Amino acid sequence: MRQRIVVLGGGTGGTMLANSLDRRRFETTLVTASTTHLFQPGLLYVAFKNAGTPLVRDERGLLARHVHLVHDTVTSVDLTHQLVETAGGSRLAYDRLVVATGIQTDPSGIPGLADVVGRVGDYHSTVSQARLLWQSLDRFRGGTIALGQTTPICKCPPSPIEGILLADELLRRRGLRERSRLVFFTPYPRPYPAEPMNHVVEPILKERGIEVATFFDVDRIDPESFTLTSIEGDVIECDLPILVPPFTGAPIAYEPAGVLDESRFVRTDPRTLRVRGTGTAFAIGDATSLPTSKSGVGAHLEAQVVARTLRGSPATFAGRTHCPFDLAHGRGTFVAGTYDAPVVPSPPSRLKHVMKATFARLYWLSLRGTLDPALDLYFRLTDPARPRWRGLRGPHPGT
């Protein structure tokens, strides 16, 4: 008898997981709200480089033929009775559930933010919002750009600094840098949250003349004057505010409701990836409460762990992250760490920039598992727990 697996969400994690379950043992159904799949890292290049590479593909074409696809929005999940309900009226019973519904931007909690994001654009939600941000940057002829994250948790932790560095590169290319002030703000005590990587990043910001405002928790933003005020009463005035909005989990009603935390992230065991308090449900990727980076690489590695457990060989997640980090001007680095091996300060290089760009081209293949043997080897060789990294490690964990 085949196990009925229901996967919620057809993004990076859900698609990889569904594709990795074979048809002999599993009857896999993937329920996803959108008919298309967005390669989210590409939003950075639409917003800051006006990149024209298509970022969206049809989800059906990315799934193995035996995966049953339901295009519908999940409205409720009853973990006790193992039942999923959708907006379209479907009721799906499961033996095992995998939640991979990601997170979405939610500017509603900060007065003025929805208005600003609607006028200026952002690079953490949709292609049209990223295009709007490009248009705002394209119109900019000098003045102050303030860019930063509004809450500590951010999809792809390097992305705020990548944004300010790419803005700097753009202004230099256009001969506008002399007439412009760039301010990077963050709620953290340093530009990059993990201290070992901050040793790499902070000197670059300094060298490029980017000002940094730390401990800046955005309380409100005036949509007319573009004045940002922090909870502590500090003020940043600017001509172009680029804000990474707060994030929230999918609006799905869970039974029991206690599996969601205050950000609507699914409370997940950091090692087994089981939804807390259940034996039959797992969560992967951005949707989880895991104390690690919200990244596609994480979603990929977590999908592998859950697939192994579903196949009957219980596996555990080590908290591995490996976020590619674009430092602009053709240089890049990686943020790699695990729960037990803190982030390694990785020196910038051209090769790492090329690797990030190459992976973007290979993303679609990776969803089918085609690249797994090469990627597994790469992740093993670059595992921060390997002895050769130990000497490089700084004193503080984090990603």
Ligand X SMILES: Cc1cc2nc3c(=O)[nH]c(=O)nc-3n(C[C@H](O)[C@H](O)[C@H](O)COP(=O)(O)OP(=O)(O)OC[C@H]3O[C@@H](n4cnc5c(N)ncnc54)[C@H](O)[C@@H]3O)c2cc1C
Asked if 324 interacts with ligand X (CB under 6 A), we say yes
Pick the binder of ligand X from 110, 250, 266, 305 (CB under 6 A). Answer: 250
Which sign, positive or negative, has the C-alpha torsion 284, 288, 293, 296? positive
- Rounded to whole angstroms, what are the CA distances from 158 to 17, 33, 215, 363? 25, 27, 17, 19
Q: Which is nearer to ligand X, 118 or 209 (CB)?
A: 118
Q: Which is nearer to ligand X, 228 or 252 (CB)?
A: 252
Q: Which is nearer to ligand X, 32 or 180 (CB)?
A: 32
Give the span between the Cα atoms of 217 and 200, in whole angstroms.
24
> Phi/psi zone of residue 279: left (φ > 0), alpha (ψ -120 to 50 degrees), beta?
alpha
CB of 326 to ligand X, least distance (A): 8
Pairing of strands 332-337, 321-326: antiparallel
Asked if 285 interacts with ligand X (CB under 6 A), we say yes
350-389: which residues touch ligand X (CB under 6 A)? Answer: none
Q: Which is nearer to ligand X, 130 or 240 (CB)?
A: 130
DSSP 202-256: HHHHHHTT-EEE-S--EEEEETTTTEEEETTS-EEE-SEEEEE--EEE---EEES
Asked if 319 interacts with ligand X (CB under 6 A), we say no
Pairing of strands 143-149, 180-185: parallel
CB of 359 to ligand X, least distance (A): 8
Closest among 101, 61, 58, 106 to 299, alpha carbons compared: 101
Asked if 260 interacts with ligand X (CB under 6 A), we say no
Closest among 326, 110, 324 to 223, alpha carbons compared: 110
Contact 3, 95 (CB under 8 A): yes
Number of residues that bind ligand X (CB under 6 A): 37
Asked if 159 interacts with ligand X (CB under 6 A), we say yes
Pick the binder of ligand X from 21, 44, 77, 117 (CB under 6 A). Answer: 44
Pick the binder of ligand X from 299, 327, 335, 344 (CB under 6 A). Answer: 299
Give the span between the Cα atoms of 285 and 101, in whole angstroms.
8
Give the span between the Cα atoms of 179 and 118, in whole angstroms.
26
CB of 284 to ligand X, least distance (A): 6
CB of 86 to ligand X, least distance (A): 7
Pick the binder of ligand X from 18, 133, 137, 156 (CB under 6 A). Answer: 156
CB of 40 to ligand X, least distance (A): 3
* CA Rg value for the chain: 21
Scanning 155-163, 175-183, 202-210, 373-381 for contacts with ligand X by CB under 6 A, the matching segment is 155-163
- Rounded to whole angstroms, what are the CA distances from 21 to 27, 216, 292, 383? 9, 45, 25, 26
Asked if 335 interacts with ligand X (CB under 6 A), we say no
Q: Which is nearer to ligand X, 144 or 248 (CB)?
A: 248
CB under 8 Å to 74, separation ≥6 — which residues? 8, 31, 33, 84, 85, 86, 87, 101, 250, 252
Pairing of strands 235-237, 91-93: unpaired
Asked if 107 interacts with ligand X (CB under 6 A), we say no
Residue nearest to ligand X (CB): 11
Asked if 29 interacts with ligand X (CB under 6 A), we say no
Beta bridge partners of 28: 5
112-131: which residues touch ligand X (CB under 6 A)? Answer: 123-124
Q: Which is nearer to ligand X, 37 or 96 (CB)?
A: 37
Scanning 99-107, 174-182, 335-343, 366-374 for contacts with ligand X by CB under 6 A, the matching segment is 99-107
Asked if 10 interacts with ligand X (CB under 6 A), we say yes
Closest among 53, 57, 103 to 264, alpha carbons compared: 103
List residues binding ligand X (CB under 6 A): 8-14, 31-34, 40-41, 43-44, 73-74, 100-102, 123-124, 155-156, 159, 250, 252, 285-287, 294-297, 299, 323-324
